[in-house]
Amino acid sequence: MVFKLKDSVNQRVEHRYDHFTKLYIKREDKIHPIISGNKYRKLKYNITFIKSQGYSTLLTFGGAFSNHIAATAEAGKVYGIKTIGIIRGEELQTKIEENDTLNYAQSCGMHFKFISRANYREKNSISFIKSLKKEFGLFYTLPEGGTNEHAIKGCEEILTEADKEFDYICCPVGTGGTVAGLINCSKPSQQVFGFSALKDDFLQEDISKFVTKNNWKLNLNYHFGGYAKVNEDLIRFINKFKKEQSIQLDPVYTGKMMYGIYDLIEQSFFKKGSKILAIHTGGLQGIKGMNKLLVKKGLHVLK
Ligand SMILES: *Cc1c(COP(=O)(O)O)cnc(C)c1O
């Protein structure tokens, strides 16, 4: 990979709930400004595979603020791979200019196809893929969120040998690829907690398919109503966290996870004296778009 990457370091996070539980955050958000955090990890071996197989085009799927779409477009630009984004929501077709994520992806050369929400639900069907092949010719398909075997292999590199000192590894969950990689590279003595960013009954099953251990749990208590749903409480938490820790969290994934971790520490959920490592999976490119929505709704914005 030719990306210029910065190191991801573990940074101590202060919390005032008890003096015994130590919380650290792994700054995966720092490794690259666009292909940040887990999206770099998920693309790494996919790009290697695409190159080795001689594909010239990559097709993938995502929504209006998708970090995956932004990261894939950037990776395509860097590696000279044509990228096609199948985007959820036909109404976005005329709103590319005002959507920072899509605007950015387009500037990287991504070609879009906008489809309705109903069609998007059927995006993996054989007939739809067939129609895409007819329209675009030969391409490599990367599933929504970039999750596949290659992605999980990349995410197995997030934890280092030094991280074995942690009792708990916490991570936000969208499609489950990142947490699956973390589970696979965790020590059996460690507990891995995935914090779901969405309401989804199949996640547990999806993750199970990819993992080799059972030292993990999926927490469904902090999705705030579903994917990209936020409330004032969450926005306030993220802004306060930034002020106190000088760390920006995103409202879709890492903000919800950290809210959950603080809440669980307060409830003495974690063993006394334990060390927790939370993964900052990035996603900061989506903040501008979220703020536009918050302004429209007359709510407080992310500072
Ligand atoms: C995509 C994303 C996730 C979810 O990762 P999955 O592997 O799909 O579970 C978490 N955090 C951020 C910031 C993301 O962009």
Given this model, what pLDDT does residue 3 score? 61
Q: What is the rounded end-to-end Cα distance, in angstroms, of the chain?
A: 33
Condensed to tens digits (0 to 9), the pLDDT of residues 246-294 reads 999 999 999 999 999 999 999 999 999 999 999 999 999 999 999 999 9
- The answer to the question of residue 225 being in a domain is yes
- Same domain membership, residue 287 and residue 162: yes
- Same domain membership, residue 161 and residue 292: yes
- Same domain membership, residue 134 and residue 93: yes
Sorting pLDDT into bands at 50, 70 and 90, what band is 6?
Answer: confident
Atom 3 in ligand 1: residue holding the nearest Cα: 174
Which position has the token pair 């992605």? 151
CA of 228 to the centre of ligand 1 (A): 12
Condensed to tens digits (0 to 9), the pLDDT of residues 38-60 reads 999 999 999 999 999 999 999 99
Condensed to tens digits (0 to 9), the pLDDT of residues 211-241 reads 999 999 999 999 999 999 999 999 999 999 9
Quote the mean pLDDT of the chain.
94
What is the rounded CA–CA span in Å between residue 130 and residue 125?
9
What is the rounded CA–CA span in Å between residue 287 and residue 302?
7
- The answer to the question of residue 249 being in a domain is yes
- Same domain membership, residue 268 and residue 199: yes
- Same domain membership, residue 66 and residue 27: no
- Same domain membership, residue 167 and residue 19: yes
Cβ of 68 less than 6 Å from ligand 1: yes
What is the rounded CA–CA span in Å between residue 47 and residue 39?
12
Cβ of 63 less than 6 Å from ligand 1: no
Task: Work out how many domains the chain is built from and give that number.
Answer: 2
124-134 average pLDDT score: 95
- Same domain membership, residue 241 and residue 118: no
User: What percent of the chain has pLDDT above 70?
Assistant: 97
Partners of 115 in the beta sheet?
88
Which CATH number goes with the domain that contains 64? 3.40.50.1100
Q: Count the helices and strands in the chain (H runs, E runs).
A: 11, 10
- The answer to the question of residue 2 being in a domain is no
Instruction: Write out the residue range of the structural domain in which residue 99 sits.
Output: 39-146
Sorting pLDDT into bands at 50, 70 and 90, what band is 1?
Answer: low
Sorting pLDDT into bands at 50, 70 and 90, what band is 30?
Answer: very high
Given this model, what pLDDT does residue 20 score? 84
- Same domain membership, residue 22 and residue 170: yes
DSSP 8-class letter at 252: T
- The answer to the question of residue 5 being in a domain is no
What is the rounded CA–CA span in Å between residue 249 and residue 257?
10
The domain boundary, picked from 94, 112, 146, lies at 146
- The answer to the question of residue 3 being in a domain is no
What is the rounded CA–CA span in Å between residue 281 and residue 48?
21
- Same domain membership, residue 237 and residue 174: yes
Given this model, what pLDDT does residue 101 score? 94
Cβ of 147 less than 6 Å from ligand 1: yes
- Same domain membership, residue 265 and residue 179: yes
User: What percent of the chain has pLDDT above 90?
Assistant: 90
Contact 105, 73 (CB under 8 A): yes
More confident residue, 196 or 6: 196
The domain boundary, picked from 115, 146, 177, lies at 146
CA of 55 to the centre of ligand 1 (A): 25
What is the rounded CA–CA span in Å between residue 276 and residue 192?
10
Cβ of 251 less than 6 Å from ligand 1: no
- Same domain membership, residue 141 and residue 16: no
Cβ of 281 less than 6 Å from ligand 1: yes
The domain boundary, picked from 118, 146, 174, lies at 146
- The answer to the question of residue 91 being in a domain is yes
Torsion sign over Cα 145, 126, 212, 220: positive
90-112 average pLDDT score: 96
What is the rounded CA–CA span in Å between residue 22 and residue 24?
7
Q: Which residues are CB-contacts of 39 (< 8 A; sequence separation ≥ 6)?
A: 67, 68, 70, 71, 72, 146, 282
Q: Please give the full DSSP string across 162-195, using - where no structure is assigned.
A: GGGG-SEEEEEESSSHHHHHHHHHS-TTSEEEEE
Condensed to tens digits (0 to 9), the pLDDT of residues 173-209 reads 999 999 999 999 999 999 999 999 999 879 999 999 9
What is the rounded CA–CA span in Å between residue 285 and residue 189?
35
153-176 average pLDDT score: 97
Sorting pLDDT into bands at 50, 70 and 90, what band is 2?
Answer: low
- Same domain membership, residue 48 and residue 178: no
- The answer to the question of residue 303 being in a domain is no
- The answer to the question of residue 302 being in a domain is no
At residue 155, φ and ψ (nearest 5 deg) are: -70, -15
Given this model, what pLDDT does residue 102 score? 96
